[in-house]
Amino acid sequence: MKKENNTEKVFSKKLFSNFSSSISFDRRLYKEDIDLSIAYSKALLKAEILTIEEQLKISDSLLIIKKNIEDGKFEWREDLEDIHMNIESSLHDEIGDIAGKIHTGKSRNDQVSTTTRLFLKNTIQEFKLILRGLQIEIVKKSEVNLDIIMPSYTHMQRAQPVLLSHHLMAYFEMLERDISRLQDCMERMDELVLGSGAVAGTFFDIDRNFLAKELGFSRINRNSMDGVSDRDFVLEFIFSTSSAMIHLSRLSEDLILWSTDEFNFVDLSDNVVTTSSMMPQKRNPDFAELIRGKFGRVLGSLVTVFSVMKALPLTYNRDMQEDKEPLFDCIDTFTQCTKVMTEIIRGAKFNKLSINSSLHGNMLATDIADALTYYGVPFRQAHIIVSNLTKTLNAKGKVISDLSLGELNSLLDTDTNIDLDINKSINSRSKIGGTSEKMVKAEIKLAKKKLEI
């Protein structure tokens, strides 16, 4: 009976240990955690809490631990619940009781917040690079396909003719906003929290401005309670990533539609399509579909962290440990999706003949309404006139482009010199932001300058 009780106790201890442990996922913060501890040891030296010999021992040993982790030689202990305890324990094994001094005036509360900020600052720099990589491929595809005119769509109905490059460059602009949002997010999180202690600030003479400089933060926080309990920066980071994922999902949807036999606007390369398990003729755009689907995972991460933080009283609560798994999943998902989308765009080949054949004769209706307005007809009236014209032609199985100028003027009961030419229609949209070849070339040129290509 006693043996059973001991077994139950062991089981219970293991159950609770596993339940509270975060080492299985927060070990990826090792680099930032070690960098933080080395910087903090220097601050302790300045505060005369460590001697120079002690600080050097701590710093050198932490660098050895970092190398062991990177070489796969570090022994992770599941009974030590997080990355901080694992590294501190290993440091104690290396240099003895001196290791305990590294925790002077520091709490895991301010340490984990600072470590996460360091990690996300590095992650944002990586995100910006991979987003730039995708932008480069979009600009390249836009430049080599400047001669392709396609239908634009509103409500998934053919609208006005535009350059394919104009359509593609719309995604460049979306990604530019994503990079801007991430940069803004980084500027707000660029605040040193270390030195806030557990909740009330530090008792010791820690030079926080020195720490901020050592760790690359532009400023220090002004309220210790806010510092240890703030996860706004995590929420904002995941939101910014979610916004970027929406753009990847929309681009995926365009490519999925365009690759269908019904559109046949684009051929996707063999490495980003799959065949059906049953129908050998199929070329399914699975990778674009997966990107479209994975938006849900990133959105789920955002909802998870919002739910964790809702109604938490000040200051630190253990609930906040639950931000890491959704955060890391968000990072991994977005990284993969952006890299895969870059490959999809790189290998995409646009079918000029098929795209040109999709241009509908009635797509010049707006040009006619604009021309009538130019000749003095109020636009609302011109809109009605041209709408009735298209209905009349549709009933006869005709479209606007089937008409000669004389026939058009006769039907409109007017005398105009409207040129029903799609190329001229394109190039008439020559103001900044328009689809004219001149404006699109200028947009591409500006993008290339920004991307340094």
| Residues belonging to the active site | 155, 276
CA distance 349 to 363: 25
Which token pair is 259?
A: 């690759």
**Cα dist. 186→58, 128, 242, 343 in Å?**
30, 11, 16, 27
Intra-chain end-to-end CA distance of the chain, in Å: 76
Strand boundaries in 287-361, DSSP class E: 349-350
**Cα dist. 304→127, 229, 271, 364 in Å?**
22, 17, 34, 48
Neighbours of 347 (CB within 10 A): 15
**Cα dist. 311→315, 322, 393 in Å?**
11, 15, 62
**Cα dist. 94→63, 97, 326 in Å?**
12, 10, 34
Q: Name the strand (E) or helix (H) holding 191.
A: strand 191-192
DSSP state of 449: H
CA distance 45 to 306: 39
3-state secondary structure of 400: helix
CA distance 143 to 445: 9
Map tokens 């001229």 to a residue. 424
Q: 126: closest CA among 339, 408, 395?
A: 339
